[in-house]
Structure 1
Amino acid sequence: MENLDPIFDRNVECPLCKTKFTSKKIRSKFIKVERYESDFCPIYKEGHVNGLLYNIYVCPDCGFSFSDDFSKYFPPGTKEEIINKVSSNWVPQNFGGHRTIEDAIKTYKLACYCAELKKEKHIVTAGLYLRIAWLYRLLENIEQEKRFMKIAIHHYYESYSTDDFRGTQVSEVRILYLLGELSRRIGEIDQAVKYFSMVIERQSRTVETKIVDMARERWYEIRDMQKQEDVINE
């Protein structure tokens, strides 16, 4: 029996210019996650393909870049904006083959730009920026990781403020937790405490008890760290 390749060609149609192309995807049975970090970054088992690398489709003809989370709807004027700012400057290139981490970062950055021009929901754009941060973490580029975490925080906050996450798989508790954890990771401790407290306050109104437990753990860690700092400074 022939061995099944973990990566296959998926047929895609560009929502903008209707060009048909192929893009690599990973068969779900081959995605093996060993654990998740405290901001939900997946750590894949050694020797297995990183599932983050192939989430973005890049049209080789017009440059429009998107994920499965993008809506099919283009608000009035956004198609023209994308054509003017992306397609008219696009140097034809193909991201449909095997990708390195650096390749994947380029595709996510293109998708972020297209998402902003298309006026995608903040919850979608936030997820793209967070994944760029995760990929920079793999490259051990702390400066760029934190830079993109800050942008993700902005979009998660806008999503929370405008309720645009409603109807998606992302809950209010998860957004608040991510706001807290990403704030903690970039050193904004007061903001982190505020958001973790908001998660804990909602413990009786959510079924996502694991996230509440994670927020409580982070909150205690911060409190213990601050106590130690107070002792040192006495």
Structure 2
Amino acid sequence: MTTPIKIELKCPCCNTKFESRSLMSTTVGFKETDFHPISLGFQALPLYIHTCTHCGFTGLLGDFEKPKKISNQLAKRISNEIGPLVRDGLPDGGTRYEFAARIAEWQGKDPETIANLYLHAAWCCVDERDMENESIYRLSAIEYFKRALDEEGCLSDDSRTTVTYLIGELYRRVGEIELAHEWFNRVISESDSDEAKQKIVALAKQQKDNPKNML
């Protein structure tokens, strides 16, 4: 069961104090094969992301509680590019995760972090039945996951296997089946006795040969 609570946050960009909603508890009933968690009750994903409606700064709870220093130049960019999009009220969860991804890129955060924000945006779109933006966000997640694979030291060995699988699954979900199989084959070709990796290898084989949407 998803139980929301009200919290007060201070924006690290403009210092405005504002009220947001967060989670007191949630129960995940199922997961999809792209690791999208399905909560019991209403979906919890939008409660993990917070937006200052004064300037537009958007991020996860840690971005407010333990913020990085925001330069005047970045603060101005956030206010100019995102601020006008939130002053009439909060947009949907997918859009707010997109804002967080854009800000994370402007802050120079690593590509895996940015990819995961776009992936969360896509998951929100699934819950919101926004198929057009779901595909856009999945493709953005693919782009940044690829960058994470290319960037030395960005991913652990275990994470590389999972990210490679995810790229294949995301391609499958946007209808790019040949590309999906290419990335699944990269996972399948791995020979490793590690149990966690072998689970991902087995999942890649399943999604190539007999794909399912739920784990």
Match of 2:48 among 55, 59, 66: 55
Contact 2:43–2:127 (CA<8 Å) still a contact in 1? no
Q: Which residue of 2 aligns with 1:215?
A: 204
1:171 counterpart residue number: 159
Change (3 A) 1:175 1:134: same
Distance in 2 between residues matched to 1:203 and 1:81, nearest whole Å: 48
1:143 partnered with 2:132: yes
Give the C-alpha shift of residue 220 in structure 1: 2.0
TM-score by length of 2: 0.80
Report the secondary structure of 1:22's partner residue: strand
* Structure 1: gaps spanning 5 or more residues: 223-234
User: How far apart are the structure 2 equivalents of 1:36 and 1:103?
Assistant: 21
Matches within 5 A, 1:195-214: 195-204=183-192, 206-208=194-196, 209-214=198-203
Report the count of equivalent residues: 205
**What secondary structure sits across from 2:184 in the alignment?**
helix
The whole-number CA distance in structure 1 between the counterparts of 2:88 and 2:167 is 35
Cα distance in 1 for residues equivalent to 2:193 and 2:154: 17
Residue aligning to 1:113: 102
1:94 Cα shift?
8.3
Determine if contact 1:149/1:182 at 8 Å carries over to the other structure: yes
What are the superposed Cα offsets for residues 180-202 of structure 1, whole Å, 9 maximum, x if unpaired?
10111122223222221222233
Partners of 2:72 and 2:21 lie apart in 1 by 28
Query: How far, CA to CA, are the matches of 2:200 and 2:105 in structure 1?
Result: 29
Moved more, 180-189 or 10-19: 10-19
1:145 Cα deviation from its structure 2 partner: 1.5
AA matched with 1:37: E
Who is 2:151 aligned against? 162
* TM-score normalised by length of structure 1: 0.75
| Residue 25 (1) aligns with residue 22 (2) | yes
CA deviation vs aligned residue, 1:54-95 (integer Å, no higher than 9, x gap): 111212332211114658445xxx733422222246247486
Identity among equivalent pairs (%):
27
Which SS does the other structure have where 2:195 is aligned? coil
Are residues 164 and 118 of structure 1, via their aligned partners in 2, closer, same or farther at CA, if it must alter by over 3 Å?
farther
Task: Please identify, of 32-41 and 59-68, the stretch whose mean Cα deviation from structure 2 is larger.
Answer: 59-68
Distance across 1 between alignment mates of 2:191 and 2:38 = 27
Alignment RMSD (CA, Å): 2.9
CA distance in 2, matches of 1:87, 1:164: 33
Larger radius of gyration: 1
Residue in structure 1 matching 2:71, options 79, 84, 94: 79
- CA separation of 1:207/1:68 partners in 2, compared to 1, >3 Å: closer, same or farther? farther
C-alpha separation in 1, matches of 2:15 and 2:190: 45
- Comparing 109-118 with 134-143, greater Cα deviation is found at 134-143
**8 Å contact 2:149–2:155 — kept in the other structure?**
no
**CA-to-aligned-CA distance 1:115-141 (integer Å, 9 cap, x gap):** 221122111111111122222222333
1:150: how far off? 0.8
- Asked if the contact 1:165/1:171 (under 8 Å) is kept, the reply is no
Partner of 2:93: 104
Question: How big is the shift at 1:164?
Answer: 5.5
Q: Structure 2: how far apart are the matches of 1:125 and 1:67? A: 12
